[in-house]
Chains A and B, each alone.
Chain A
Amino acid sequence: MKTFLTTTALALALAGTAHAEGKLSIYHWFEYIPQELLDKFAAEYDVEVTMDTYDSNEALLAALKAGKLGEYDVAVPGDYMVKIMGDEGMLDTFEPSELSNFGNIEDQWLDVAFDPGRKSSIPYQWGSTSFSVNKEVYGGDLDSLGLIFEPPAELKGKINVLDTAGETLTLASLYLGIPQCTADRDQLKALNDLVQTAKADWASFGSDVAKDVLVSGDAAAGMIWSGFSAKARSEGAPIEYVFPKEGMIVWMDNVVLLKDAPNRDNALKFMNFLLEPENAAAVTNYAQYTAGVKDVAPLLDPEVANSPESNPPEGVTGVFVEACPEEVQVMYDAIWTNLKK
């Protein structure tokens, strides 16, 4: 019995043994960083990199709340989630002097409301959330969120929506023209009614499948992030990313230094690494969003730089998702649960 236990313990220990000097544990969105870039970092700094992925800002928060804080070094939350995580005390701070490439951050992303003065985060990529429509299925005008929330007959039953309350309900609010985080009863009631009715016309909820369902044809329209839609298009989906007249969501994802990071030094090295124009460009060329780092433009693939998804026409408005206070958030949570019951 003892030998068996020892063997097992040994085997378990062996499986966890690091081959490199240091480690870096990343918690990242799925399909958002090229493996080659991680390999490059690992080779350059002799660090063993491990990465887990999530598919929504809320899933990231939930996992960190559920005991994962202290296991990861860096994560990549969106704007409003940076604010929430900061308020929850989940972020560590650094001095700009700790990152030699800090000056590479584009000025417009330097002093942001969700992290004034960039004390815990650096820009990763920014883009928008809207939806894409298969032009072979639907030939009409592509200009309104109504295609998702009050769909025409061609699209009924063929729509995938993102499986996150934040983005889906915010787009619905834009469609109705009501403010975010509203506590107004009539407005919330209208929001609830809208999504309840629309659900009958939706085929599925899924964020990680958002690209695949459009490529495979399982869905004819789907809420999706701009770059993900561009990837779907380059994989052969006959789709167009829509810039709705009601407005769309814009967001910026940021690399944050997590509190109790087991490898704080490597985390900072990694953040600094990502601020190199060359590496930021590699991410953009892969994920097809827009970097928040200077001097990236000349390093981009032309089709990525000029993609219609990343270059909205004049006059399109975008809003950031807001973090609602608790007493309002519970109502949005209730609408979401009600929607999926």
Chain B
Amino acid sequence: MAAAAPAGATRSEIYRGNGPRLMLPVWAFIGIFLVLPVLLMAIYSFLTKEFRGGVIWEITLAAYDQFFLDRGLFGDEPPQIEWTYIGIFWRSIWQAGLATFFCLLIGFPTAWFIATRNAAVRPVWLFLVTIPYWVNLLIRTVSMKFLIRDTGPLNEFLLWLGVISEPLSLINTNFAVQLGLFYSYLPFMVLPVYAAVERYDFALSEAAADLYADNWTTLRLVILPVVKPGIVAGCILVFVPSLGAFLAPDLLGGAKTFMIGSLIEEQFKGAAGNWPFGAAAAMILLTIVLGVLLLHARAQAKGGR
């Protein structure tokens, strides 16, 4: 979903003067129903929690204190760094990172393979990769859950093949969560990488070949640097949604360990009932994501296109 390149775009001004008026609905809807709520959430993260859900309108840093500082199980030990929540965030980042890595590992060759097909069959390949992206995420996650359960088709198949003698315990593991994330967002990697590879000028490969580079050297030294923007875009499109994912950890991970998404959800829908803490955790997640996006935008601007 990389924004279309402005190259060759019409820079028309024929409706000059109407810009603000036409933009008004966007400002109204996204402004009121997204920007305002996020600002409100930021305020909530500094409010006092009410026992069993709700807030008291008194400013406090308690939510962030709870996130970052450990005062013992009973809250009266000298504060140390609290690793619980940092650990949950770190694990989520690690899971999302692994999913991104594997998406790239499979997604790049796929994108390359498709982009180097004959122009007539290319759309068909692309179409095949796009379909799953349009299929309901919940349904895809449920399908994966069904496939890999202990008595599910995958195990039956492998047992039948004789590859394994005992069913693999895949479901309710971290591996299942990674597999779910990988599976959920794989098309997000293929499409932008494909767009970049499609624009790749093979004269560069020829030049490299003339200099006696073999294909793999060309890939490493020439192709990858050139299509890097597509790869980075793909990685962001996989990493960001993976980070806040809820369905894969919940359905495939057995709800056994908190990920960022379930930690936040628990504060509002589960037993914890600590709204300011949930809001604070959401703010920290938002900060990380916007930070990543900002770095990306910076790097792009520096790339000077």
Interface residues, chain A, with chain B CB atoms under 8 Å away: 56, 58-59, 61-63, 65-66, 84, 88, 157, 163-166, 185, 188-189, 192, 199, 202-206, 216-218, 326, 329-331, 333-338, 340-341
Contacts and interface: CB of A to CB of B under 8 A. Distances in A.
Interface string B258-292: 10000000101111111000000000000000000
B73 A188 contact: yes
25 contacts: A58-B270, A58-B273, A62-B268, A62-B269, A62-B273, A65-B54, A65-B273, A66-B269, A166-B271, A185-B74, A202-B256, A203-B172, A203-B256, A204-B254, A204-B255, A205-B255, A217-B150, A217-B151, A218-B171, A326-B51, A330-B75, A334-B73, A336-B272, A337-B272, A341-B257
Contacts of B271: 56, 58-59, 62, 164-166, 333, 336
A88 to B, nearest CB: 7
A37 to B, nearest CB: 27
Decide if the interface of chain A is mainly helix, strand, loop or mixed.
Answer: helix
A125 to B, nearest CB: 22
Interface string B134-167: 0000000000000001110000000000000000
Nearest to A204: B254
Contacts of A189: 73
Contacts of A336: 271-272
A183 to B, nearest CB: 9
Nearest to B257: A340
B215 interface: no
Interface residues of B, number: 30
A259 to B, nearest CB: 15
Contact of A206 (B75, B149, B169, B254): B254
B150 A218 contact: yes
Nearest to B49: A330
Contacts, number: 88
Task: List 5 tightest A-B contacts by C-beta distance, closest first.
Answer: A204-B254, A65-B53, A58-B271, A326-B51, A341-B84
Contacts of B73: 185, 188-189, 192, 331, 334-335, 338
Contacts of A163: 255
B53 A66 contact: yes
B98 interface: no
Contacts of B256: 199, 202-205, 340
Decide if the interface of chain B is mainly helix, strand, loop or mixed.
Answer: loop
Contacts of A84: 52
Contacts of B109: none
A61 B53 contact: yes
Interface of B: 51-54, 73-75, 84-85, 87-88, 149-151, 169, 171-172, 254-258, 266, 268-274
A203 B271 CA distance: 21
A204 B149 CA distance: 13
Contacts of A66: 53, 268-269
Contact of B84 (A63, A165, A218, A337): A337
Nearest to B169: A157
Contacts of B150: 217-218
Residue among B151, B258, B266 having the largest count of chain A Cβ atoms under 10 Å: B266
Contacts of A216: 149, 151
Given A165-B271, A202-B256, 6 more contacts: A56-B271, A199-B256, A218-B151, A338-B73, A340-B258, A341-B88
Contacts of B85: 341
Given A165-B271, A341-B84, A88 B52 contact: yes
A136 B287 CA distance: 51
Contacts of B270: 56, 58-59, 62
B172 A333 contact: no
A163 B52 CA distance: 17
A157 B256 CA distance: 12
Nearest to A341: B84
Contacts of A63: 269
B154 to A, nearest CB: 14
Contacts of A188: 73-74
Nearest to A183: B74
A61 B273 CA distance: 9
A88 B171 CA distance: 40
Given A217-B151, A218-B171, A335-B73, A206 B255 contact: yes
A63 B84 CA distance: 26
Contacts of A58: 270-271, 273
A55 to B, nearest CB: 10
Contacts of A330: 75
A204 B148 CA distance: 15
